[in-house]
């Protein structure tokens, strides 16, 4: 399960050997500790998720439920104030919006485009494909 929060991104999966635990993973240093401050986090630069911790399944369920109850924003993208975090979140948003439009089209005419407040460029100086402007019908 991927969980995007204002201050952290977590991937939570079953523990390989012990059903009492879940493996909480992240790609950004400190994200696990923001949600589970008591967690013992391991770092492995050869893993797709560099940071991991084994956390009691009940603790994970309780903590994530509390975080859900604390939501006070109408848009996660607007609530993320850390630019270094907002940029990859915007990319995920755009990728999933593209997938929705690909699968189902749009009932809106013209389709409102999500426009990031960040101007991104790849190493080549060409705007990042995730933020290419699509044409609207109208």
Pairing between β-strand 51-56 and β-strand 42-43 as defined by DSSP bridges:
antiparallel
Give 3-state DSSP helix, strand, coil % of the chain, rounded to 5: 35, 20, 50
In 10 A of CB 52, how many CB atoms? Answer: 20
Q: Helix, strand or coil for residue 55? A: strand
Decide: 53 and 13 in contact? Cβ < 8 Å.
no
User: Taking Cα atoms as reference points, which of 47, 46, 64, 81 lies closest to residue 2?
Assistant: 64
Model confidence, pTM: 0.76
> What would the pLDDT profile of 8-57 be if each residue is shown by its tens digit?
999 999 999 999 999 999 999 999 999 999 999 999 999 999 999 999 99
């Amino acid at each position: 399960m991927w969980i995007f929060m204002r201050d952290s991104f977590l991937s939570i999966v079953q523990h390989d050997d012990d059903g009492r635990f879940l493996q909480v993973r992240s790609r950004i240093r400190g994200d696990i500790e923001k949600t589970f401050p008591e967690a013992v986090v391991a770092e492995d630069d050869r893993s797709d998720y560099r940071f991991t911790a084994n956390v009691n399944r009940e603790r994970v369920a309780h903590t994530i439920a509390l975080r859900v109850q604390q939501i006070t924003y109408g848009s996660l993208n607007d609530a993320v104030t850390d630019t270094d975090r907002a940029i990859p979140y915007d990319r995920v948003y755009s990728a999933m919006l593209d997938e929705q439009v690909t699968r189902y089209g749009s009932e809106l005419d013209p389709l409102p485009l999500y426009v990031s407040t960040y101007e991104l460029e790849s190493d080549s100086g060409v705007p990042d494909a995730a933020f290419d402007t699509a044409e609207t019908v109208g």
